[in-house]
Every structure is written in C-alpha cells, then in structure tokens.
C-alpha cells in the first residue's frame, strides 16, 4: 500500500533525516515505528503525507509516486490518511461533538451523516459521555481518544499516529493502544510512531526500528501487557 524505495531526505540546512530507506507497508497492517528522537520517524510520516518530498528515491501510495502529485491530488491523498499527533491539535472552542462535525463538514458530509455518525464514532473511542465537553474539560487520554475519533470519522484507509501517547500516563497509553488496535481490526492500516521502547511490548505485531535516519530492524513480535 505504501512503499519507500531508496528514500533519502536531507533538509535545506543539511540535516540528514533519512538515508536510503526501503520499506513496504501492506493494507491492514499495524506497524509500529520505534526510534529515539531525531531518528527520522516524523520525516517518514511527512513524506507519506506529501508534506515533504524526498531528496532521493520514491514514495509510492498504491503503486503511484506521490511526489508527482498536483495540489488537488495531494488533498485527495490526505483524505485517505488520518493523522493523530502527540499534542492532540483539537479546536479549543468546539465541543467534542463539534470537533468531529467540523472534520465531516470539511469533507463535504451532509448534516444527516454528521448527526448519525458523530455519536457512533465517539462510542467507538469510549467517549459517548463526553460529547458536549470542550477540550479543556477533558483529560489527556480523553483528548487523544477524541483526536483519534476525528482522524477516523471520514474513514481513511490509513491512520498515522505520531507519538500519540507522548503526553499520556501508562493507563491512558494502554487505552489509546487498545483503541488503535480496535481500529486496525476494523480494517484500517495503522502506523504508530514512538520513541518509547516500552510501548512496543504492548503493541506487538510489526516493529520497525529506526536510528539516525536508517531502518535498523523490521520484525514481527507478539504483544505483552505493560
Ligand atoms: P523523529 O521524529 O524520529 O524525532 P525527525 O524526522 O523529526 O525525527 O528528525 C530527523 C532529523 O531531521 C533530526 O536530526 C532533525 O533535527 C532533522 N529535521 C527534522 N525536521 C527538520 C526541518 N524541518 N529542518 C531541518 N532539519 C529537520
């Protein structure tokens, strides 16, 4: 589904973020990318979203080179990939319901769809009783679950979660991982990045290790409880 072929990325200031990365992520996989800060994880995500372009090599989405995309093709690509970030990025003046409704409106969904789908997705992330809370009335774990609900509401094929548990304690981290697994079970490809080696024990499945811009490990593991 997503393929990196001999990808290197050097930023204009000379920082080498990725060096000859070759990677293939299949439809329906749950992939965890682990590596210390500066390893190149966020850059990898940005290349998948066509927010940055490789200095060398090719990034393919369903066998199409996304780095040839026009602006409208990039918009279409980003509709197919939901994103979640460490710092939540919720709209502070909107309730949980409105944060999700806003994302649906932006994607051209009808009022009927919004009214029927928003409660549904909030239930999926166990937030049905927080529907009319504003972000500052939610705990960190609840904020992240809301951000996940917003990221999946328009049914993307891929969900990229970039350090989604970076601001969370261990209990909320475990809840977020469980929700990501549930979303993966429902058919969405999930790409999780983390600097926390502890976390990969809970996630299991495919673990890609990165160091200094290179992929240094790629293996399948079973999950254990943290
Ligand atoms: P990670 O997500 O694993 O922390 P990043 O992809 O953010 O890694 O960064 C990889 C390397 O690229 C780091 O050395 C970082 O300083 C550098 N880098 C990231 N973004 C930029 C940028 N916009 N301009 C210059 N250097 C950058």
Radius of gyration, CA atoms only, the chain: 17
Residues in contact with 33: Cβ distance below 8 Å, sequence separation at least 6, in sequence order: 41, 44, 191, 192, 193, 194, 208, 209, 210
Mutating to test ligand 1, I would choose from 18, 34, 42 the residue with most ligand atoms within 8 A of its C-beta, which is: 42
Residues in the chain: 226
Whether pLDDT at 202 is above 90: no
Residues of 122-133 as b/e, b for ≥16 C-beta within 10 angstroms?
A: bebbbbeebbeb
Cβ atoms within 10 Å of 49's Cβ, excluding its own: 17
Please give the number of the atom of ligand 1 that sits closest to the Cα of 46.
6
- Ligand 1 pocket, Cβ-based, cut-off 6 angstroms: 11, 13, 15, 17, 35, 37-43
Q: What is the pLDDT of residues 5-30, one digit of tens each?
A: 999 999 999 999 999 999 999 999 99
- pTM reported for the whole predicted model: 0.94
State the pLDDT at residue 218: 94
Q: What is the pLDDT of residues 142-156, one digit of tens each?
A: 999 999 999 999 999
DSSP SS3 for 94:
coil
The CA distance from 172 to 141, in Å, is 5
State the pLDDT at residue 18: 98
The CA distance from 67 to 74, in Å, is 9
Please give the number of the atom of ligand 1 that sits closest to the Cα of 18.
10
Ligand 1 mean position, distance from CA 36 (Å): 11
- Name the phi and psi angles at 61, rounded to 5: -120, 115
The mean pLDDT value for 53-82 works out to 96
State the pLDDT at residue 198: 84
């Amino acid at each position: 589904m997503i393929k990196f072929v001999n990808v290197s990325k050097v930023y204009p200031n000379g920082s080498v973020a990725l060096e000859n990365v070759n990677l293939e992520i299949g439809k329906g996989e749950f992939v965890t990318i682990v590596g210390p800060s500066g390893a190149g994880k966020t850059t990898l995500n940005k290349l998948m979203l066509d927010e940055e372009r490789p200095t060398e090599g090719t990034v393919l989405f369903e066998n199409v080179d996304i780095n040839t995309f026009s602006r409208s093709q990039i918009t279409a690509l980003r509709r197919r990939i939901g994103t979640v970030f460490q710092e939540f990025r919720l709209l502070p003046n909107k309730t949980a319901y409105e944060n999700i409704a806003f994302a649906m409106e932006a994607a051209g969904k009808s009022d009927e769809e919004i009214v029927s789908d928003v409660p549904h997705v909030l239930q999926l992330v166990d937030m049905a009783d927080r529907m009319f809370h504003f972000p500052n009335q939610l705990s960190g774990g609840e904020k992240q679950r809301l951000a996940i609900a917003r990221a999946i509401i328009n049914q993307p094929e891929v969900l990229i979660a970039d350090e989604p548990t970076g601001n969370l304690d261990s209990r909320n981290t475990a809840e977020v991982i469980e929700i990501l697994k549930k979303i993966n079970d429902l058919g969405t490809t999930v790409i999780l990045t983390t600097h926390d080696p502890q976390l990969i024990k809970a996630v299991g499945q495919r673990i890609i290790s990165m160091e200094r811009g290179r992929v240094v490990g790629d293996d399948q593991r079973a999950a254990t409880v943290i």
